[in-house]
């Protein structure tokens, strides 16, 4: 697995999501940008899906075994800050039942720079549970 290609694709995909999120439905470019996003998501899942689904399966088994694994693109945040990082607010990613944090709202996110999975719980917990190497 080429981790640089994975990271570059993650950044491009999140930036496209961010671009779409900044457009109103009435914007003439909305449909085109949405189609570009779907194409990028398909390419991402084609190129990295099998690898990331295995990684996600391992992470789920270890940290949140009662929650189903979804497509890797479901775990992406909506935006990157100007430094290329994710400002995790607690609402991004996929909701999971984290064994280490019972009765707490937990989410799993796939973020870039470097490519990694973050378990986010509430406003204070940001646990890196996997890193691409």
Nearest to 75 by CA among 18, 31, 14: 14
Please report the sign of the dihedral spanned by the C-alpha atoms of residue 31, residue 36, residue 42, residue 48.
negative
A 10 A CB-CB count for 63 gives 21
Quote the DSSP letter at residue 9: H
CA–CA dist 57, 123 (Å, integer): 25
CA–CA dist 76, 41 (Å, integer): 10
Residue pair 6/110 in contact (Cβ under 8 Å)? The answer is no
Residue by residue, pLDDT tens for the chain (133 residues) are 899 999 999 999 999 999 999 999 999 999 999 999 999 999 999 999 999 999 999 999 999 999 999 999 999 999 999 998 998 887 889 999 999 999 999 999 999 999 999 999 988 899 999 999 8
């Amino acid at each position: 697995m080429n981790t640089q290609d994975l990271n570059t694709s993650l950044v491009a995909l999140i930036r496209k999501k961010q671009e779409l999120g900044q457009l109103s439905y009435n914007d003439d470019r909305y449909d085109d940008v949405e189609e570009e996003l779907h194409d990028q998501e398909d390419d991402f899942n084609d190129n990295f899906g099998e690898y990331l689904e295995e990684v996600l399966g391992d992470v789920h088994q270890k940290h949140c075994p009662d929650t189903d694994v979804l497509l890797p693109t479901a775990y992406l945040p909506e935006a990157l800050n100007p430094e290329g990082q994710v400002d995790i607010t607690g609402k991004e990613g996929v909701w999971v039942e984290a064994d280490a944090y019972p009765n707490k709202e937990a989410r799993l996110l796939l973020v870039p720079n470097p490519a990694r999975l973050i378990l986010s719980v509430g406003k204070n917990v940001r646990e890196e549970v996997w890193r691409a190497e």
